[in-house]
Structure 1
Amino acid sequence: MNKQFGYSRVSTSDQDWALQLAALKQAGVDEADVFKEKASGAKRDRHELRRVLDLLRDGDKLVVYRLDRLARSQLHLLEIVEEIEAKGARLISIHEHIDTSTATGKMLLSILGILAQFERDLLIERTRHGMKVAREQRGVRFGRPAKLNPAIIRQVALAHDDPEITVPEACRSLGLSKSTYYNALRESKINHVNAIAN
């Protein structure tokens, strides 16, 4: 039998909760099937939302008062709707008059998908620009810091030349993995050859 679930999210005001609950009940959702979340829209880990999404089956409905109660961005909303659709369920938003099983609802989802892609592209563009500015103006370096510096290379070379020290002991004492140890050893040999050549 198909079920109808409700989901509501409130930040602080109980008045907002009462408004959402009244709208969900009027839409035919039993109060026992309403999942109430008390969290900000920015928080990604919303346990009640996860619970209701996990319960959805083919033919079920998830009813929300407004789309902004369900997701914090177009991209997040699209991810949620795709999960609902993949289960054969549908989403109904009371305030926006959206039902994902109708032609209009599907059209709005297509527009939402375009907006989500636009939002994704803008985020990537802003991130790249910010990284470029940080690199050029403040000398910020991105990525994992290099483990191989001249001091480490020297220490590895000294440890390697000492017959009393094994590779595992050297790695432990220097805090290096074996691959980093051997990379440093190779680098020290290259430096040694270059020094002789010059």
Structure 2
Amino acid sequence: MMIAYRRVSSEDQNLDRQQFPDADKVFEEKASGADRNRPALRDLIDFARDGDEVQVHSLDRLGRDMRDLLDIIEKLNGKGVTVSFVTERLTFKAGKDAVDDPFARLQLHMMAAFAQFERSIIRKRQREGIDRAKARGVYKGRQPTIDRDEVARLRGEGLGATEIAKRLGIGRASVYRLLEGLTDVRVKVQGGT
């Protein structure tokens, strides 16, 4: 079976350039490649069987972290699944009879390393830009997406973090972080500082 994996980094991007007309099944998602917890990728790995081929548009669509990229390929190869990257024209075959192409492995390591390097440079430039904007007083940061007052209200009704997270459609860790912040503020106010 030919399986395709399509990914873009954000909701406002589209998957149009990643076409796989011969695919029997397509897994797609809009999530950062740096995110190791991608549901469609996890489903693809669970779904793929011995003899299948997974096609991905390019290395950076599967992952930007070299370790993660290699791990995904090894997992799939370990299940007897071949992984092909269309743009780079790289194929990693599975199975005991498959001859591991050392040149393809070298290219994979080099391209993944360059992608990781590029990502690091982008982050560094972004950080420098933010620091300059803060110094000029024009950087305000990202606006909060979670209503702190609503979290406090629900907590005041006696709801726990899990239930608050479910009702607001957010992660429990976010609720705990906000509750901790609310507790710190209350303690300071009660303490008179």
Larger RCO: 1 or 2 (CA < 8 Å, sep 6+): 1
Q: Which has the higher helix share?
A: 1
Task: State the structure with more CA Rg.
Answer: 1
TM-score (norm 2): 0.50
TM-score (norm 1): 0.48
